[in-house]
Structure 1
Amino acid sequence: MEDAANLAPAQPGAEANLLSRLTAMDDYEFDNYADSELLKLKEELIIKNDMMENENKLFESYWNRVNPGNGGPGATGTVDEELQDAGGGMQQQQMRQKKKKGEKQKEIEKRLLLTPEQKSEIATRELEELRDEIEKQKEEWAKVLDSYKAEMEEVEIRIGDTKKALYEYKRDIVGQAVNSRTGKVMAERVLRYYEDKIRAKDAIIEKVRLKNATLKVQKNKLHLQLKQKEEMGEVLHAIDFDQLQIENKQYLTKIEERNAELLKLKMTAGNTVQILNFYKKKLQNITTESETLRTEISQRRDLLDKLRSEAKLVNFEKRKATRINDTLKKQIEEFRVPHVMEYVHKQAERYELQKKLKSWERKVEIGTMQAARVKKMWQHMCLSKSQKQANPLPRITQQAEKSQLFI
């Protein structure tokens, strides 16, 4: 309000805009300009005029908001009257001298124009006011939208109830209450159906009535508590609401900071989880690789043991072969080629020995055959009569002597 009182002599409005434009137009000498320059000047003046009109609208809205009882800067007369007064003043000013006109123009500018700081302050206040109005409109339209949503939900619930009732009616009455003989719906079933529905509606009404009664009791209690607080002076005033709003803003900023910290912590936790999963996979790969290496090491150890045992066996065979080789070398060194006659005698002896060997082999075969025959005779004699059992040794000895003589 103090700023409005300081800015009141400036009277930002249509009259100030007209005076400033008219005084600025006196500086231009239109006769010295060409048509293209006049067109450019016209466009520039139109742009400046639009800017000044927007500023005047802003200042006028600020003036009306700060001083609502004064009726605005143009409340004493209409805009046409202001234009006529401004036109008459312009004709009077053209007849004056340039010096007096310049001094008067400076006085008007000093009296009417606003400083840039004042303009920026007015603009910021109007911007804040516009934001507040936008927020209020948002809240109002949100309430309207919520009410419409509630109505739509209620309509959907009612539509669902009607569909359900229609389905139950078709199921219970149309499908089952038809008399098979007459083909008409039985009245008793219909009456019973509607009586059940009425009883259900009465139960719902009773529940709603009880709930309404409890809500009324709670409302009366809250009214009594509010009256007690008013009597005790605990009712919140506008200053308290402003303080609560300031505290709410502070808490909201703190909540936003904490949410930002929480988001950072979540991001760090996500990064750590990713790193942990990476290292888990790496550890799993390393463990599988270590297991494969262990199995390979055990296989290599078994192979090494086999190779060592084979090496021992090879060394043993090598030593054996070296001994045999040494003996063979000694035999080769000690070997002496016999004479020809000695070789012939040795061959003749070998042939004689071979003949003897063959004859003895023949004699052995004959003896084995004779022994088999005697053995059979012995078995036959053993199976003969028990009365003729006698000592068969003399006969056996005689047969053996005969066989030896034969041999």
Structure 2
Amino acid sequence: MTEEDSESVHTDSQAGEESELSVIQLCGLVEELSYGNSALKTETEMFEKYCSKLDSRDHRPQRISDVKMSAAEFAQLRSRRKSRSRPGGERMIGLTVEQKLDLVQKELEDMKDELRHMRANAERDLQYHEAIIEEAEIRWTEVQRAVHDFEKDILRTISKKKGSILATEKVLKYIEDMNHRRDNLRDKLRLKNISLKVQRKKLLLQLRQKEEVGEALHDVDFQQLKIENAQFLETIEARNQELIQLKLASGNTLQILNAYKSKLHRAVEMYICLGKEILLRKELLEKIDKETIQVEEDRAKAEASNKKLRKQLAEFRAPQVMMYLQEKILNGEMEKTIKMWERKVEIAEMSLKGYRKAWDKMKASNEQLQAICSPGK
């Protein structure tokens, strides 16, 4: 290619000065040459891949990778590059920038097509496996339901009525019902399969018609399709932005919901505490009501006694002065008489005590005499 020729000429022109260059400059030149070689290698591989695709399409046996130069041709080419007498000598024809750009664009389109096919195949496989999983889950649910129904309808009856004819008949009836259900399900699936086959034929016919119509499309139609595709992509991008906004709004809503949930939890706890406090206050209020009733009863009794005393006080009449004096004198005389009699009682008690002591002495002496006289007899 042209870049390789220019680099080779540049290196040949500086061949005489290599001995004068420093090690750092030589390392820099080596790095530049290695970078250029890697870029040329990448371009060559891409070009070989593109040519191999063209060869496979055109059924050409030769490939760019099969073309190899011998050592003599390589030495001759190098000697031509080193010769300065013929600056406009023979050079290998390289690709222009536009050709390289076309090649890269075609390679990029091929890669996109491959990725699209791989994505379609992956989605198809994913849908197939999801359908299998869904079918297995439905089947597992049906099996669990059947087991539950069998345990509910049959096993409990058999456990209650062992050896009875009713249990056997119930088991046979259950088996017949299950067979009848399976027959109905088989008929439904067969009809559904027939309808799906008819629908598949219709879709294939429509697809064939679309392909026939698609063969008659022109460049204008493809341009229109590209414009519509761009519009759809813009719409998809706008919808994606809306989806992102909705996700953000959903996140904010979820945060607000969590905050309200925490507030609700605190409110429920406060409600429970207030309920307990209300119960305590009600019990205290009932106790206070009972005490109030008791106090009211005591107050009623006190009022009744107060009324009675007030009535007695209202009916009380003070006696006359002479009568009061007579009663007072009589009361004083009676008190004196009481004191005198109390004194007499005390004297009588003292004399009684003396008599009792004398009696006790006489009784003791009598007992001693009896004790003395009894052994003499």
> So what's the TM-score if we normalise by structure 1?
0.47
Residue equivalent to 1:144? 125
**Shift in alpha-carbon separation, 1:23–1:239, aligned structure 2, 3 A:** farther
Match of 1:63 among 51, 63, 88: 51
Match of 2:21 among 23, 26, 33: 33
In 1, Cα distance between equivalents of 2:206 and 2:74? 69
Q: C-alpha displacement at 1:204, in angstroms?
A: 0.9
Residue equivalent to 2:227? 250
List runs of 5+ in structure 2 lacking aligned partners.
246-377
Matches within 5 A, 1:141-220: 141-181=122-162, 186-217=167-198
Cα deviation digits, residues 220-276 of structure 1 (max 9, x gap): 67788999x79xxx9324343977654444334455677899999xx9xxxxxxxxx
In 2, Cα distance between equivalents of 1:222 and 1:161? 33
Q: Whose Rg is larger?
A: 1
**1:177 and 1:189 in contact (8 A); partners too:** no
Q: Are residue 44 (structure 1) and residue 67 (structure 2) matched?
A: no
1:202 maps to amino acid = D
Match of 1:89 among 58, 73, 81: 73
In 1, Cα distance between equivalents of 2:23 and 2:185? 86
Cα deviation digits, residues 24-70 of structure 1 (max 9, x gap): 65344243333333222222222222111111122222222334323
Q: C-alpha displacement at 1:73, in angstroms?
A: 3.7
In 2, Cα distance between equivalents of 1:186 and 1:43? 92
Q: C-alpha displacement at 1:133, in angstroms?
A: 2.4
Q: C-alpha displacement at 1:203, in angstroms?
A: 0.2
Residue equivalent to 1:236? 213
Question: Aligned to 2:158, what secondary structure does the other structure show?
Answer: coil
Cα deviation digits, residues 344-393 of structure 1 (max 9, x gap): xxxxxxxxxxxxxxxxxxxxxxxxxxxxxxxxxxxxxxxxxxxxxxxxxx
Residue equivalent to 1:98? 83
**1:63 and 1:73 in contact (8 A); partners too:** yes
**Shift in alpha-carbon separation, 1:224–1:43, aligned structure 2, 3 A:** closer
Residue equivalent to 2:255? none
Residue equivalent to 1:54? 42
In 1, Cα distance between equivalents of 2:143 and 2:136? 10
**1:59 and 1:122 in contact (8 A); partners too:** yes
Q: C-alpha displacement at 1:198, in angstroms?
A: 1.2
**Shift in alpha-carbon separation, 1:238–1:33, aligned structure 2, 3 A:** farther
Residue equivalent to 1:362? none
In 2, Cα distance between equivalents of 1:102 and 1:240? 53
In 2, Cα distance between equivalents of 1:199 and 1:254? 55
In 2, Cα distance between equivalents of 1:248 and 1:114? 33
Q: C-alpha displacement at 1:205, in angstroms?
A: 0.8
Match of 1:74 among 55, 59, 64: 64
Cα deviation digits, residues 63-82 of structure 1 (max 9, x gap): 223343235642544xxxx2
1:41 maps to amino acid = L
**2:50 and 2:107 in contact (8 A); partners too:** yes
- The more displaced of 140-149 and 234-243 is 234-243
Q: Are residue 114 (structure 1) and residue 91 (structure 2) matched?
A: no
**Shift in alpha-carbon separation, 1:169–1:261, aligned structure 2, 3 A:** closer
Question: Aligned to 1:235, what secondary structure does the other structure show?
Answer: helix
In 2, Cα distance between equivalents of 1:224 and 1:45? 60
List runs of 5+ in structure 1 lacking aligned partners.
1-11, 268-407
- The more displaced of 196-205 and 213-222 is 213-222
Q: C-alpha displacement at 1:118, in angstroms?
A: 1.9
**Shift in alpha-carbon separation, 1:174–1:257, aligned structure 2, 3 A:** same
Residue equivalent to 2:338? none
In 2, Cα distance between equivalents of 1:241 and 1:95? 54
**Shift in alpha-carbon separation, 1:174–1:209, aligned structure 2, 3 A:** same
Matches within 5 A, 1:199-348: 199-217=180-198, 235-240=212-217, 246-254=223-231
In 2, Cα distance between equivalents of 1:197 and 1:177? 18
**Shift in alpha-carbon separation, 1:75–1:199, aligned structure 2, 3 A:** same
Residue equivalent to 1:130? 111
1:164 maps to amino acid = R
In 2, Cα distance between equivalents of 1:200 and 1:44? 80
**Shift in alpha-carbon separation, 1:131–1:215, aligned structure 2, 3 A:** closer
Q: C-alpha displacement at 1:18, in angstroms?
A: 7.8
In 1, Cα distance between equivalents of 2:220 and 2:110? 20
**1:177 and 1:186 in contact (8 A); partners too:** yes
